[in-house]
Structure 1
Amino acid sequence: MPVLSSQRLPPLSSRIRAVTSFVLALAAFAAPDIVIADFEGPTYGAWTATGTAFGSGPARGTLSGQMAVSGFTGKGLVNSFLGGDGATGTLSSPPFRIERKYIRFLIGGGKDVDRLRLELLIDGQVVRGATGPNDRPGGSEALEPAEWDVRDLAGQSAQIRIVDEATGGWGHINVDGIVQTDQRLPKLLYGLGRTIELKKRYLNLPVKSGAKKRWVTISAPGEEPRRFDIELAEGKPDWWAFTDVSAWKGKTVTVRVDELPEDSKGLAAIDQTDAIKAKDLYREALRPQFHFTSRRGWLNDPNGMVFYKGEYHLFYQHNPYGWGWGNMSWGHAVSRDLVHWKELPVALHPDPSGTMYSGSAVVDWKDTAGFKTGSEDPLVALYTAAGRPFTQGLAYSNDRGRTWTKYRGNPVLGHVAAENRDPKAVWYEPQKKWIVSLFLDGEEFAIYDSKDLKTWRELQRIRIPGTAECPSFLPMPLDGDASRPKWVLFGANGGYLVGDFDGTRFVPDGPPKRMQHGNAWYAAQVFSDVPGRTILIPWAQLDFPGMPFNQMMGLPVEQTLRTTAAGPTVFSVPVRELASLRRSHRKFDAPASGFTNKCDELAEVEVVLSGVSGRCELNLRGVKVSYDASTGEVVCLDRKATLRPVGGKVRLRAFVDRRSVDLFGNDGALYMPMGTPIDPANRSLSVTTSGGTKVDSVDLYGLRSSWR
């Protein structure tokens, strides 16, 4: 199709006014649409299904094992992924008469004209057809609008049939919103652009969840362009994404969109402000109140965690422009107390080498990389450029992490294996060098050394059975004795090895252990350069439907390595700084076999049990936690972990936020972060025991929001 540049077109505002006037004029004379099927009911009604692919009624969005489905209207759609891609079948409408010029529909799923089809039949013969857009790994489950011109079939009796005869990858079809109409779909315009003189801090972009993703490029003279995909709202947005352009203030930027319907208002709606467009920021209904979340968009793995001059720097995998994963950049926030966080501009944007995947950061106190230019010690970030292939790069900051420059000599490590990624660096003082751990593939990791962070030498490869990606490799004092360090290597799910490292080779003491047992913990990282403490933050894998942000970080915990009967073991407790959130305290001593009270919305609860020979059950705002002395297990939702009494007592500690409960036991022997919906109206708190177990005490702390 021809590419139209903004220079060859009238001003965008003029085109939009003209198109809008034309569309309104047509609409005034058009006959009303006739809905053939909207698939909002519990069954297919008069439609007939064969086989197993379509089930007994419309799907309610995404099915089990399927990528997120978007782009459909209402709550229901036809989705033949029921039971997976192996299911087959047909779904046929009752006969209807063609009474309008066009039949419009939404379609998605696999692309296979022979085995995945939406068909229009006349007298049993196929006269029109359509299939989905996906025929290779990856892709998207978004439905997109399409239409058939049926003017030549006016007045005839017709039938629609949806066919799934495919069984391999992308062997399913999604359909919704089949309508007869006299109005054509808007035409697509290509290469649209506009210029904006930057006078304010933010450019705001309208987002409509489920809309077709458009590629947007923002370019400024002498700057690296920002290119990303976004569900750009064509009309009223659900929320506003933003990009911080304060570093470009005074320049004129060009904003281009790859394609837009001719009636879209998306490009024209982009504007600039000195504050982000956000209603009730940090007060949204599901916003966690003491777990870190980004102001807008998606986050996942914590990255580049480093402490320098009183500030904890938390970088993280971030999609600034969407609720779902994508456009991987390094978001950035700082805190002086691990509790109250201030979000800074995105530190690393995607570039021609790839999107910015996970990595780490260090203070280069000795300027080993030679990046220092002023009085500040340089912060150096090691990151994965997720291009083709994946490589490792450096970026540095000489202004306490406020701005970042990518090293011109990148990549510092070329491709090694598969999607090698997630470099984590630590200084090894005995040999005055850096040690870098890197994920390779499967369960395999590599350990490198480097004198200057620019030239890496592979020392060894090692496996952590049952564990992949996001490694951390660091020394920890055994039982608090700095003269007896052991080295710990852990991966994304918390599987870890403990052993000895001589600067060249790591030798594990035994098989891997698990440092956590929750459902909301992944890809954790430890802060670099924190004197005398090992502080870890995980990614809590938890969706926030209907919110302009998604996912959260777990609570910061302090870790120690202690001698146990099972060998050196990592213990995890909430950082002491969280006590600053306590706004009230009620203590209940020796409440015997039962305890009932009202729980604050945000709460910290400590329960001490003695005589543990039976069962105990905690009800934390509707979330049940049980302890069974006969098995020595703590159970919450679908997770369980072993916890044995210490001195005849079991101590449980829980932090309750809006969609999570973080559980700890016996001073860090149990670490179980749990994500779950919590009824905002449920303020119940109870402890019940049986079989001889007694409640010694209950401490209930009401917590304040960290955002206020």
Structure 2
Amino acid sequence: MNRRKFMGLTGAAVLSAGYARGLRISPADGLRAAMDPGWATDPRRPQYHFLPAANWMNDPNAPVYWRGEYHMFCQYNPHAAVWGDMHWAHAVSPDMLHWRQLPVALAPTPGGPDADGCFSGTAVVDGERVGAIYTGVVHVPEAEATLRDGKNSYRETQLLAWADDPHLIHWTKVAEPVVAAPPPGMEVTGFRDPSPWREADGWYMVVGSGVRGKGGAILLYRSSDLTHWEYQHELCNGEALGAAVNPVDSGDMWECPEFFSLGAKHVLIYSTAGKARWMSGELDRQAWRFHPEQHGVLDEDAFYAPKTQRDRDGNRILWGWIPERRPEAEYSAAGWAGLMSLPRVLTLGPDGRLRMRVAPVADALRGAKQELKAGRGARETVRRLTKMTLQGSCGELRCRLRRDAAWSLSLAMANGKDVVTASFDPAMSHALHLNHSVLQLSESGEIELAIYVDGSVAETLVNNEAAVTSRFYYDGNTAPDLALRMNLGAEALHEATIWRMTPISRDRLTS
């Protein structure tokens, strides 16, 4: 489901005093510590990925390492497991793995510029204080709207709030928008998801947008104080691609942008047409123009609206929203929808292309280990594979395979339903078929698959340069065991290792 397919926002204009008093945000336990036992025992609910205790979540917002802790905020509906009435959920972690749920951080202010939703944004550290710059939305007549999706008309403005305490629990909003409207004369197809950063000469910020009839655009702003912003120009833009009612669906609007240096290059990430995308290239600092040289997709399937942060060691960490792939009626009835990806470390390869791997901290969750090392022939490899099982759909699987032989494998349930499939033909040595995608691989040598399975999600990374996150569902109250099968070319398998992953809580509530 597209994050901007609105669900009506019923009740958004009337909030209890426990959620907001004027511009002062009071903590409210929208995360509900006392849970329905059915949610805690749902086998499809992940055991080592982050998600709120209940209800709907989407985009990661403002992840930040602050005073020895990792803070994660995300788009959240405190009332139901469907999109609507966007708040910011909040959780804290010592290691990006084990999370403690905190009260809702930001809620819409009745009559304010975010009365109909606190949309996505970014954390900013300014000396000894932490702020959040985010998009607020209100219903307006169509002629005044920056966002028109065919059903609703919204005005999007960029807002600023400051944390009042070192634990980032209490927040005070700046009364007026820090960017109240798109650049004069620009007919935008969206105006949201601000992402600021500091340079030697002040603050810069990108905002996701699009220009009607011209395509997606990333707008660049500059400020000396985070409050007064001056529009510069388009940092980067695309081309007109289609005529969808919602321009983000066609690729004519780029949302959730982020711009940062990585190695000797600069990287832009953004989301459009259902995919999270990246570009790497050169920044002309005199003209402040970005010149892309390489581009690609961050993840080919259930992964959208990513956000990055620095970890305690200065690594660039990527988080992404993993949406549901089942009917709304099912996830609404389940009482929860969506989850956060595992943290991924971003680097640039020598070819200037983006690389990613699950952060090594995830290794701490590894438990019981099963291992197969080839060398006794294909028949023996197949025999030993039949004894390896990823139990309860909760574990990590790593495989190393040759590139000089054709092979195919699958990770499947006992009923034969595939969770992950992969196949390779040495005649096309830089292409790997994974599920329904064809991944382009730039390196020679072995192919390594790293698959993280958790309840109803499988994050698969290939050679640290391509990723496919998929969802799988099943009936019943027990998560199925999964078996690795070599359907072709068992002799190509060098090594396979399965680890049981330790749950991060006793009751699937991730807290």
Give the TM-score band, short-chain normalised.
0.7 to 0.9
Q: Is the 8 A contact 2:260 2:268 kept in 1?
A: yes
**Partner-residue secondary structure (3-state), 2:495:** strand
Partner residue, 1:343 = 101
Stretches of 4+ moved more than 6 A in 1? 212-215
Identify the residue that residue 50 of structure 2 maps to in structure 1: 292
Identify the match of residue 364 of structure 1 among 115, 118, 126. 126
CA distance in 1 between counterparts of 2:479 and 2:315 reads 39
Residue number in structure 2 paired with 1:232: none
Distance in 1 (alpha carbons) for counterparts of 2:488 and 2:65 = 47
The answer on whether the counterparts of 1:497 and 1:512 sit within 8 Å (CA) in structure 2 is yes
Equivalent pair of 1:560/1:571 in contact (CA under 8 Å): yes
**SS of 2:361 mapped into structure 1:** helix
Q: Tell me the equivalent position of 2:339.
A: 552
**How much has 1:559 moved relative to structure 2?**
0.6
One-letter identity of the residue aligned with 1:600:
Q
Q: Secondary structure at the match of 1:443?
A: strand
Deviation per CA, 1:438-481, whole angstroms, max 9, x where unpaired?
0122511111122211111222212146472000101111xxxx
**Paired AA for residue 180 in structure 2:** G
Q: State the 1:286 CA deviation.
A: 2.3
On the 8 A contact 2:281/2:294 being kept in 1, the answer is no
Residue matched to 2:159: 393
Q: CA 1:357–1:681 in 2, change beyond 3 Å: closer, same or farther?
A: closer
Q: How does 1:530-609 map to 2 (within 5 A)?
A: 530-542=312-324, 543=326, 544=331, 546-564=333-351, 568-590=352-374, 592-593=377-378, 594=382, 595-596=385-386, 597-601=388-392, 602-609=394-401
CA drift of 1:511 comes to 5.5
Larger Rg belongs to: 1
Q: In the alignment, what sits opposite 1:75?
A: none
CA contact (8 A) 2:60 2:307 kept: yes
Find out whether 1:643 has 2:438 as its counterpart: no
2:468 matches 1:672 = yes
Q: How does 1:18-37 map to 2 (within 5 A)?
A: none
Q: Distance in 2 between matches of 1:322 and 1:332?
A: 17
Alpha-carbon spacing, 1:282–1:580, altered in 2? closer, same or farther (3 Å) = farther
Relative to 1, partners in 2 of residues 1:525 and 1:626: Cα closer, same or farther, differing over 3 Å? same
Of 353, 358, 377, which residue of structure 1 is paired with 2:113? 353
Shift of 1:350: 0.6
Q: Which residue of 2 aligns with 1:661?
A: 458
- Residues in 2 aligned to 1:681 and 1:325: alpha-carbon distance in whole angstroms: 26
1:647-702 deviations in Å (ceiling 9; x for gaps): 3x111110111111111112x11221112225645323123154585111111101
Residue 494 of structure 1: how far off its partner (Å): 2.4
8 Å Cα contact 1:615/1:628 also seen in 2: yes
**Counterpart Cα distance in 1 of 2:391 and 2:431:** 27
Letter in 1 for 2:276: G
2:68 is matched with 310
CA distance in 1, matches of 2:226, 2:39: 40
Find 1:624's aligned residue among 416, 420, 443: 420
> 1-side partners of 2:403 and 2:19: how far apart?
72
> Residue 299 of structure 2: SS of its match in structure 1?
coil
Contact 1:660–1:673 (Cα < 8 Å) also in 2 = yes
Distance in 2 of aligned mates of 1:437 and 1:524: 15
Distance change >3 Å, CA 226–CA 532, structure 1 → 2: closer
Q: Secondary structure at the match of 1:578?
A: helix
- 8 Å CA contact retained: 1:612, 1:692: no
Q: SS where residue 420 of structure 1 aligns? A: strand
Deviations 1:324-348 (A, max 9, x none): 1110111111111111111111111
- Indicate the residue corresponding to 1:510 in structure 2: 293
Task: Report the secondary structure of 2:334's partner residue.
Answer: coil
Whether the aligned pair in 2 keeps the contact of 1:299 and 1:316 (CA below 8 Å) is yes
1:643: Cα distance to partner? 3.0
TM-score if structure 2 supplies the norm length?
0.78
Closer, same or farther: CA 309–620 of 1 in aligned 2, 3 Å: farther
Whether 1:420 aligns to 2:176 is: no
Structure 2 stretches lacking a partner, 5+ long: 141-154, 183-187, 240-250, 507-511
* Secondary structure in 2 matching 1:471: strand
Deviation at 1:531, TM superposition (A): 4.0
Match of 2:173 among 403, 406, 423: 406
The one of 407, 411, 419 equivalent to 1:615 is 407
In structure 2, what is the equivalent of residue 279 of structure 1?
Answer: 37
CA contact (8 A) 1:611 1:693 kept: no
* Cα distance in 1 between the residues matched to 2:259 and 2:31: 43
> Aligned partners of 1:700 and 1:692: how far apart in 2?
17
Q: Could you tell me how far apart the structure 1 residues matched to 2:91 and 2:7 are?
A: 32
Greater RCO (Cα-Cα under 8 Å, separation 6 or more): 2
Q: Aligned residue for 2:59?
A: 301
Identify the residue that residue 42 of structure 1 maps to in structure 2.
Answer: none
Check if 1:469 corresponds to 2:255.
yes
CA displacement, residues 299-339 of structure 1 (integer Å, 9 cap, x when unaligned): 11111111111211111111111111110111111111111
Are the equivalent residues in 2 in contact too, given 1:217–1:225 (CA < 8 A)?
A: no
Number of matched residues? Answer: 438
Contact 2:295/2:353, CA 8 A, preserved across alignment: no
Give the match's secondary structure for 2:362: helix
When residues 645 and 608 of structure 1 are mapped into structure 2, their CA distance, relative to the original with a 3 A threshold, is: farther
Give the direction of change, closer, same or farther, for the CA distance of 1:504–1:290 in structure 2 (3 Å limit): farther
1:380 aligns to 2:146 (yes or no): no
Question: 1:549: how far off?
Answer: 1.4
Amino acid at match of 2:269: F
Q: Using the alignment, how far apart are the partners of 1:578 and 1:547 within structure 2?
A: 27
- Residue 355 of structure 2 contacts residue 465 of structure 2 at CA under 8 Å; is this kept in 1? yes
Question: CA 1:398 to 1:661, structure 2 compared with 1: closer, same or farther past 3 Å?
Answer: same
In structure 1, how many angstroms separate the alpha carbons of the residues matched to 2:314 and 2:276?
22
List per-residue Cα deviations over 1:580-599 (Å, max 9, x = no partner).
11111121110643322222
What is the SS of the residue equivalent to 1:580?
helix
Q: Deviations over 1:140-179 (max 9, x none)?
A: 6x9xxxxxxxxxxxxxxxxxxxxxxxxxxxxxxxxxxxxx
Between the aligned partners of 1:274 and 1:628, the Cα distance in structure 2 is 47
Residues in 1 aligned to 2:367 and 2:79: alpha-carbon distance in whole angstroms = 36
Shift of 1:620: 4.2
* Paired amino acid for 1:626: A
